[in-house]
Amino acid sequence: MSITLLRVDQVRNLKQVEIEPHPQLNIIYGENASGKTSLLEAIHLLSTAKSFRSHRIRTVIQHDTDKLTCFARLQNASHMHQIGVERSKSSTEIRIDGESINQTSILARHLPLQLITPQVNSLLEQGPKMRRRFLDWGVFHVKHDYLKDWRSFHRVLQQRNASLRQRLSQQQVVAWDKALLDAANKITRCREDYLAALTPLLEEYCEILLGQTPELIYQHGWPADLDLATALQQSFGRDQERGFTSHGPHRAELVLKFNGVPAQDVLSRGQLKLFISAMQLAQVAHLAREQDQQCVILVDDLASELDRSRRAELIKLLAHTQAQVFITVTEASLLEIDEGQGHKMFHVERGTIHEI
Protein backbone atom coordinates (compact mmCIF):
# COMPACT_ATOMS: atom_id res chain seq x y z
CA MET A 1 0.00 0.00 0.00
CA SER A 2 1.35 3.43 -0.90
CA ILE A 3 0.08 6.99 -0.56
CA THR A 4 -0.79 8.51 -3.92
CA LEU A 5 -2.29 11.73 -2.55
CA LEU A 6 -1.64 13.43 0.79
CA ARG A 7 -3.48 16.46 2.14
CA VAL A 8 -2.53 18.08 5.42
CA ASP A 9 -4.16 21.08 7.09
CA GLN A 10 -3.25 22.79 10.37
CA VAL A 11 -0.60 20.30 11.52
CA ARG A 12 1.88 22.54 13.38
CA ASN A 13 3.13 25.05 10.80
CA LEU A 14 1.73 23.17 7.77
CA LYS A 15 -1.38 24.76 6.27
CA GLN A 16 -3.26 23.35 3.29
CA VAL A 17 -0.47 21.15 2.01
CA GLU A 18 -1.19 18.77 -0.88
CA ILE A 19 1.36 16.50 -2.53
CA GLU A 20 1.37 13.41 -4.74
CA PRO A 21 4.22 11.26 -3.40
CA HIS A 22 6.29 8.81 -5.40
CA PRO A 23 5.35 5.16 -4.69
CA GLN A 24 8.96 4.44 -3.66
CA LEU A 25 11.36 7.14 -2.49
CA ASN A 26 10.43 10.65 -1.37
CA ILE A 27 13.08 13.13 -0.20
CA ILE A 28 11.85 16.07 1.87
CA TYR A 29 14.47 18.70 2.51
CA GLY A 30 14.63 22.14 4.07
CA GLU A 31 15.99 24.08 6.99
CA ASN A 32 15.32 23.10 10.58
CA ALA A 33 11.82 24.08 11.83
CA SER A 34 10.59 24.48 8.23
CA GLY A 35 7.96 21.74 8.56
CA LYS A 36 9.74 18.59 7.31
CA THR A 37 9.10 16.51 10.42
CA SER A 38 5.55 17.86 10.63
CA LEU A 39 4.83 16.22 7.28
CA LEU A 40 6.00 12.86 8.65
CA GLU A 41 3.93 13.53 11.75
CA ALA A 42 0.83 13.98 9.57
CA ILE A 43 1.43 10.60 7.89
CA HIS A 44 1.90 9.04 11.33
CA LEU A 45 -1.46 10.49 12.37
CA LEU A 46 -3.06 8.72 9.41
CA SER A 47 -1.76 5.37 10.67
CA THR A 48 -2.27 5.75 14.42
CA ALA A 49 -4.37 8.92 14.99
CA LYS A 50 -1.48 9.99 17.25
CA SER A 51 1.62 12.13 17.01
CA PHE A 52 5.06 10.59 17.50
CA ARG A 53 6.37 13.88 18.88
CA SER A 54 3.86 14.76 21.60
CA HIS A 55 1.16 13.13 23.72
CA ARG A 56 -0.73 16.46 23.78
CA ILE A 57 -2.67 16.95 20.56
CA ARG A 58 -3.07 20.64 21.34
CA THR A 59 0.62 21.17 20.61
CA VAL A 60 0.23 19.49 17.21
CA ILE A 61 -2.74 21.59 16.09
CA GLN A 62 -1.65 24.86 14.48
CA HIS A 63 -1.78 27.87 16.78
CA ASP A 64 -5.08 29.79 16.77
CA THR A 65 -6.99 26.94 15.09
CA ASP A 66 -9.39 24.40 16.56
CA LYS A 67 -8.52 21.20 14.72
CA LEU A 68 -6.18 19.49 12.29
CA THR A 69 -7.07 17.27 9.35
CA CYS A 70 -5.06 14.70 7.41
CA PHE A 71 -6.27 12.85 4.33
CA ALA A 72 -4.64 10.25 2.10
CA ARG A 73 -5.53 8.18 -0.90
CA LEU A 74 -3.93 4.74 -0.70
CA GLN A 75 -3.31 2.39 -3.59
CA ASN A 76 -2.04 -1.15 -3.94
CA ALA A 77 -2.11 -3.52 -6.89
CA SER A 78 -5.86 -4.03 -6.79
CA HIS A 79 -7.50 -1.66 -4.26
CA MET A 80 -7.80 2.03 -3.58
CA HIS A 81 -8.81 3.43 -0.19
CA GLN A 82 -9.31 6.86 1.25
CA ILE A 83 -8.51 7.55 4.88
CA GLY A 84 -8.92 10.70 6.92
CA VAL A 85 -8.21 11.77 10.48
CA GLU A 86 -9.54 14.90 12.14
CA ARG A 87 -8.31 15.79 15.61
CA SER A 88 -9.41 18.54 17.94
CA LYS A 89 -8.47 19.04 21.56
CA SER A 90 -11.53 17.06 22.66
CA SER A 91 -12.40 14.67 19.83
CA THR A 92 -11.06 12.35 17.16
CA GLU A 93 -12.87 11.48 13.94
CA ILE A 94 -11.55 8.71 11.70
CA ARG A 95 -12.98 7.84 8.30
CA ILE A 96 -12.08 5.05 5.91
CA ASP A 97 -13.74 5.13 2.50
CA GLY A 98 -16.30 7.55 3.90
CA GLU A 99 -17.26 5.36 6.85
CA SER A 100 -16.62 6.48 10.42
CA ILE A 101 -14.64 4.04 12.55
CA ASN A 102 -13.70 4.05 16.22
CA GLN A 103 -10.75 1.64 16.31
CA THR A 104 -7.26 2.85 15.50
CA SER A 105 -6.24 -0.77 14.87
CA ILE A 106 -8.25 -0.61 11.63
CA LEU A 107 -6.22 2.44 10.59
CA ALA A 108 -2.99 0.57 11.32
CA ARG A 109 -4.03 -2.35 9.14
CA HIS A 110 -4.76 -0.04 6.21
CA LEU A 111 -1.52 1.88 6.61
CA PRO A 112 1.21 -0.17 8.34
CA LEU A 113 3.98 2.20 9.20
CA GLN A 114 7.58 2.10 10.44
CA LEU A 115 9.23 5.16 11.97
CA ILE A 116 12.98 5.81 12.18
CA THR A 117 13.92 8.99 14.04
CA PRO A 118 17.01 10.34 15.83
CA GLN A 119 15.41 8.97 19.02
CA VAL A 120 15.16 5.44 17.61
CA ASN A 121 17.86 4.22 20.01
CA SER A 122 15.25 4.32 22.78
CA LEU A 123 14.16 0.88 21.55
CA LEU A 124 17.27 -0.51 23.23
CA GLU A 125 18.07 2.15 25.80
CA GLN A 126 14.66 2.21 27.49
CA GLY A 127 12.82 -0.60 29.28
CA PRO A 128 11.53 -3.92 27.91
CA LYS A 129 8.10 -2.42 27.14
CA MET A 130 9.59 -0.85 24.02
CA ARG A 131 10.89 -4.20 22.79
CA ARG A 132 7.58 -5.93 23.52
CA ARG A 133 5.92 -3.27 21.36
CA PHE A 134 8.38 -4.05 18.59
CA LEU A 135 7.41 -7.73 18.67
CA ASP A 136 3.71 -7.04 19.02
CA TRP A 137 3.69 -4.69 16.02
CA GLY A 138 5.04 -7.46 13.84
CA VAL A 139 2.75 -10.19 15.16
CA PHE A 140 -0.31 -7.91 14.93
CA HIS A 141 0.25 -7.38 11.21
CA VAL A 142 0.81 -11.02 10.25
CA LYS A 143 -1.61 -12.81 12.63
CA HIS A 144 -4.93 -11.04 12.53
CA ASP A 145 -6.39 -12.77 15.60
CA TYR A 146 -3.42 -11.73 17.75
CA LEU A 147 -5.01 -8.46 18.86
CA LYS A 148 -8.00 -10.36 20.24
CA ASP A 149 -5.72 -12.63 22.31
CA TRP A 150 -3.61 -9.68 23.46
CA ARG A 151 -6.69 -7.77 24.60
CA SER A 152 -8.12 -10.87 26.28
CA PHE A 153 -4.91 -11.39 28.25
CA HIS A 154 -4.73 -7.78 29.45
CA ARG A 155 -8.41 -7.74 30.38
CA VAL A 156 -8.00 -10.85 32.56
CA LEU A 157 -4.71 -9.51 33.93
CA GLN A 158 -6.46 -6.35 35.12
CA GLN A 159 -9.14 -8.43 36.83
CA ARG A 160 -6.53 -10.65 38.50
CA ASN A 161 -4.56 -7.62 39.69
CA ALA A 162 -7.73 -6.09 41.12
CA SER A 163 -8.36 -9.34 43.03
CA LEU A 164 -4.81 -9.23 44.40
CA ARG A 165 -5.23 -5.65 45.59
CA GLN A 166 -8.51 -6.57 47.29
CA ARG A 167 -6.62 -9.24 49.24
CA LEU A 168 -8.93 -12.01 48.06
CA SER A 169 -7.98 -15.58 48.90
CA GLN A 170 -5.63 -17.53 46.64
CA GLN A 171 -8.52 -19.74 45.59
CA GLN A 172 -10.50 -16.69 44.47
CA VAL A 173 -7.57 -15.19 42.58
CA VAL A 174 -6.70 -18.49 40.90
CA ALA A 175 -10.18 -18.47 39.37
CA TRP A 176 -8.76 -16.03 36.79
CA ASP A 177 -5.71 -18.15 36.01
CA LYS A 178 -7.14 -20.51 33.39
CA ALA A 179 -8.21 -17.67 31.09
CA LEU A 180 -4.94 -15.87 31.82
CA LEU A 181 -2.85 -18.95 30.98
CA ASP A 182 -4.75 -19.66 27.76
CA ALA A 183 -4.22 -16.14 26.44
CA ALA A 184 -0.63 -15.97 27.74
CA ASN A 185 0.36 -19.19 25.97
CA LYS A 186 -1.13 -17.96 22.68
CA ILE A 187 0.75 -14.65 22.94
CA THR A 188 4.01 -16.39 23.79
CA ARG A 189 3.74 -18.90 20.91
CA CYS A 190 2.95 -16.12 18.44
CA ARG A 191 5.89 -14.01 19.59
CA GLU A 192 8.29 -16.95 19.43
CA ASP A 193 7.11 -18.00 15.97
CA TYR A 194 7.40 -14.43 14.73
CA LEU A 195 10.87 -13.97 16.13
CA ALA A 196 12.04 -17.25 14.55
CA ALA A 197 10.81 -16.09 11.15
CA LEU A 198 12.22 -12.57 11.57
CA THR A 199 15.72 -13.57 12.68
CA PRO A 200 17.16 -14.65 9.28
CA LEU A 201 16.03 -11.36 7.73
CA LEU A 202 17.54 -9.37 10.58
CA GLU A 203 20.80 -11.27 10.31
CA GLU A 204 20.97 -10.47 6.59
CA TYR A 205 20.41 -6.74 7.11
CA CYS A 206 22.85 -6.56 10.04
CA GLU A 207 25.56 -8.26 8.00
CA ILE A 208 25.15 -5.59 5.32
CA LEU A 209 24.96 -2.57 7.65
CA LEU A 210 27.22 -3.68 10.53
CA GLY A 211 29.31 -6.56 9.24
CA GLN A 212 28.15 -8.78 12.11
CA THR A 213 25.00 -10.57 13.21
CA PRO A 214 23.14 -10.32 16.53
CA GLU A 215 21.98 -12.89 19.04
CA LEU A 216 18.27 -12.64 19.90
CA ILE A 217 17.00 -14.07 23.19
CA TYR A 218 13.31 -14.03 24.02
CA GLN A 219 12.60 -14.26 27.74
CA HIS A 220 9.00 -15.34 28.39
CA GLY A 221 8.37 -13.22 31.46
CA TRP A 222 8.69 -15.98 34.04
CA PRO A 223 11.58 -18.24 35.20
CA ALA A 224 12.87 -20.47 32.42
CA ASP A 225 12.82 -23.56 34.65
CA LEU A 226 9.10 -23.20 35.46
CA ASP A 227 5.87 -23.19 33.52
CA LEU A 228 3.69 -20.10 33.95
CA ALA A 229 1.09 -21.87 36.11
CA THR A 230 3.76 -22.91 38.63
CA ALA A 231 5.37 -19.46 38.56
CA LEU A 232 2.02 -17.82 39.34
CA GLN A 233 1.41 -20.22 42.20
CA GLN A 234 4.85 -19.72 43.74
CA SER A 235 4.70 -15.93 43.49
CA PHE A 236 1.17 -15.52 44.88
CA GLY A 237 2.20 -14.19 48.29
CA ARG A 238 4.57 -11.62 46.83
CA ASP A 239 2.08 -10.63 44.13
CA GLN A 240 -0.66 -10.08 46.70
CA GLU A 241 1.69 -7.95 48.78
CA ARG A 242 2.58 -5.81 45.76
CA GLY A 243 -0.88 -5.83 44.19
CA PHE A 244 0.10 -6.99 40.71
CA THR A 245 0.97 -10.14 38.76
CA SER A 246 4.73 -10.41 38.44
CA HIS A 247 4.91 -13.20 35.82
CA GLY A 248 3.50 -13.44 32.32
CA PRO A 249 4.03 -12.19 28.77
CA HIS A 250 3.46 -8.62 30.00
CA ARG A 251 6.88 -9.00 31.68
CA ALA A 252 8.62 -10.54 28.66
CA GLU A 253 11.94 -9.22 27.40
CA LEU A 254 13.78 -9.36 24.08
CA VAL A 255 17.54 -9.34 24.69
CA LEU A 256 19.76 -8.37 21.76
CA LYS A 257 23.49 -9.07 21.92
CA PHE A 258 26.62 -8.98 19.79
CA ASN A 259 29.36 -11.43 20.77
CA GLY A 260 27.62 -12.04 24.08
CA VAL A 261 27.43 -8.34 25.04
CA PRO A 262 24.16 -6.34 25.06
CA ALA A 263 23.91 -4.30 21.86
CA GLN A 264 23.48 -1.00 23.70
CA ASP A 265 26.76 -1.61 25.56
CA VAL A 266 28.93 -2.46 22.57
CA LEU A 267 27.60 -0.41 19.62
CA SER A 268 28.23 3.29 18.99
CA ARG A 269 25.23 5.58 18.58
CA GLY A 270 25.56 5.45 14.81
CA GLN A 271 25.78 1.67 14.90
CA LEU A 272 22.74 1.50 17.18
CA LYS A 273 20.79 3.56 14.66
CA LEU A 274 21.80 1.17 11.89
CA PHE A 275 20.97 -1.88 14.03
CA ILE A 276 17.49 -0.66 14.93
CA SER A 277 16.92 0.37 11.32
CA ALA A 278 17.84 -3.20 10.36
CA MET A 279 15.31 -4.51 12.90
CA GLN A 280 12.56 -2.37 11.39
CA LEU A 281 13.50 -3.17 7.81
CA ALA A 282 13.39 -6.87 8.67
CA GLN A 283 9.83 -6.34 9.88
CA VAL A 284 8.95 -4.57 6.63
CA ALA A 285 10.40 -7.41 4.56
CA HIS A 286 8.66 -10.05 6.68
CA LEU A 287 5.27 -8.35 6.30
CA ALA A 288 5.72 -8.12 2.55
CA ARG A 289 6.63 -11.81 2.36
CA GLU A 290 3.89 -13.11 4.65
CA GLN A 291 0.99 -10.82 3.75
CA ASP A 292 2.07 -9.33 0.41
CA GLN A 293 1.59 -5.94 2.04
CA GLN A 294 3.98 -3.01 1.91
CA CYS A 295 4.67 -0.58 4.72
CA VAL A 296 5.21 3.12 4.59
CA ILE A 297 8.58 3.98 6.14
CA LEU A 298 9.21 7.40 7.69
CA VAL A 299 12.85 8.38 8.26
CA ASP A 300 13.39 11.67 10.06
CA ASP A 301 16.84 13.24 9.71
CA LEU A 302 18.45 10.21 8.07
CA ALA A 303 21.87 11.88 8.00
CA SER A 304 22.03 12.20 11.78
CA GLU A 305 25.00 10.24 13.25
CA LEU A 306 25.75 8.47 9.94
CA ASP A 307 28.68 9.10 7.62
CA ARG A 308 28.25 9.26 3.86
CA SER A 309 28.95 5.58 3.18
CA ARG A 310 26.53 4.40 5.90
CA ARG A 311 23.86 6.78 4.61
CA ALA A 312 24.26 5.38 1.10
CA GLU A 313 24.05 1.79 2.37
CA LEU A 314 20.90 2.50 4.38
CA ILE A 315 19.23 4.23 1.42
CA LYS A 316 19.98 1.21 -0.76
CA LEU A 317 18.32 -1.10 1.77
CA LEU A 318 15.33 1.21 2.13
CA ALA A 319 14.87 1.17 -1.64
CA HIS A 320 15.36 -2.61 -1.72
CA THR A 321 12.29 -3.14 0.49
CA GLN A 322 10.06 -1.78 -2.32
CA ALA A 323 8.16 0.07 0.42
CA GLN A 324 7.14 3.70 0.07
CA VAL A 325 9.75 5.76 1.94
CA PHE A 326 9.70 9.37 3.15
CA ILE A 327 13.10 10.75 4.20
CA THR A 328 13.81 14.17 5.70
CA VAL A 329 17.19 15.92 5.52
CA THR A 330 18.34 19.50 5.85
CA GLU A 331 20.08 19.42 2.46
CA ALA A 332 19.32 17.22 -0.52
CA SER A 333 23.06 16.89 -1.22
CA LEU A 334 23.41 14.78 1.95
CA LEU A 335 21.82 11.85 0.12
CA GLU A 336 23.19 9.98 -2.86
CA ILE A 337 20.41 8.43 -4.92
CA ASP A 338 21.32 5.75 -7.44
CA GLU A 339 20.66 6.61 -11.05
CA GLY A 340 17.43 5.00 -12.14
CA GLN A 341 16.01 4.92 -8.61
CA GLY A 342 12.47 6.25 -8.84
CA HIS A 343 11.99 9.18 -6.49
CA LYS A 344 10.58 12.63 -5.94
CA MET A 345 12.10 15.63 -4.20
CA PHE A 346 10.09 18.07 -2.09
CA HIS A 347 11.38 21.34 -0.67
CA VAL A 348 9.86 22.63 2.56
CA GLU A 349 10.05 26.29 3.53
CA ARG A 350 8.05 28.05 6.25
CA GLY A 351 5.30 25.46 6.23
CA THR A 352 4.87 25.27 2.46
CA ILE A 353 5.95 22.29 0.35
CA HIS A 354 6.88 22.32 -3.33
CA GLU A 355 7.80 19.40 -5.55
CA ILE A 356 11.15 19.99 -7.24
Helix, strand, coil % over all residues of the chain, rounded to 5? 45, 25, 30
Question: 122-292 architecture in CATH?
Answer: Up-down Bundle (1.20)
Rounded-to-integer distance, Cα 306 and Cα 220, Å: 34
Which residue type, as a one-letter code, is found at position 139? V
**What pLDDT score does 338 carry?**
78
Q: 1-112+294-356: which CATH topology? A: Rossmann fold (3.40.50)
DSSP code at position 332:
G
- pLDDT digits (tens), the chain, 356 positions: 799 999 999 999 998 899 999 999 999 999 998 999 999 999 999 999 999 999 999 999 998 899 999 999 999 777 899 999 999 999 999 999 999 999 899 999 999 999 999 888 999 988 999 999 999 999 999 998 999 999 999 999 999 999 999 999 998 988 899 999 999 999 999 999 999 999 999 999 999 999 999 999 999 999 999 999 999 999 999 999 999 999 999 999 999 999 999 999 999 999 999 999 999 999 999 999 999 889 999 999 998 888 999 999 999 899 888 899 999 999 988 888 877 788 999 999 988 999 98
**CB under 8 Å to 45, separation ≥6 — which residues?**
11, 51, 60, 68, 70, 85, 87
Give me the residue spans of the domains in the chain.
Answer: 1-112+294-356, 122-292
Q: Which of 227, 228, 221 is nearest to 249 (CA)?
A: 221
**What pLDDT score does 209 carry?**
94
Beta strand 92-96 pairing with 99-101: antiparallel
Residue 256, strand partner residues: 216
**What pLDDT score does 131 carry?**
96
**CB under 8 Å to 165, separation ≥6 — which residues?**
243, 244
**CB under 8 Å to 232, separation ≥6 — which residues?**
177, 180, 181, 222, 239, 245, 247, 248
| pTM of structure | 0.93
